[in-house]
Amino acid sequence: MDTHQVSEEASPADLGRLTHGTRWTNRELLFHMVLGYGVVRTLLPLVRTLGRIGYSQRFAASLNAGRRPFHAINYLGP
């Protein structure tokens, strides 16, 4: 099942329900999944290039360093 099919078949009530294990609605979760997919597809060439030139561990460390602020902003945003 793809995202278009899910969004077309789900009723407004289904999309407005809270998800299990998060404080998001199904609509917000679906949006974040699609957004994350787009971000990963965009950044994948950068990650591959950094891996080839030996900077993948430093890049991963910089992403880990920004994890706490990211989670706080991501939680407060919706």
Write the pLDDT tens digit of every residue in 37-66. Answer: 999 999 899 888 888 888 878 878 888 888
SS3 of residue 59 by DSSP: helix
Residue closest to 39 by CA, chosen among 1, 74, 4, 15: 74
The pLDDT assigned to 75 comes to: 78
Q: Where are the domains of the chain?
A: 3-76
Give SS3 for 32.
helix
Q: Is the pLDDT of residue 1 over 70?
A: no
Examine the pLDDT at 25 and tell me if it is beyond 70. Answer: yes
* pLDDT attached to residue 78: 61
pLDDT for the residue 41: 92
- Helix, strand, coil fractions of the chain, as percent rounded to 5: 75, 5, 20
23 Cβ neighbours under 8 A, 6+ residues apart: 75
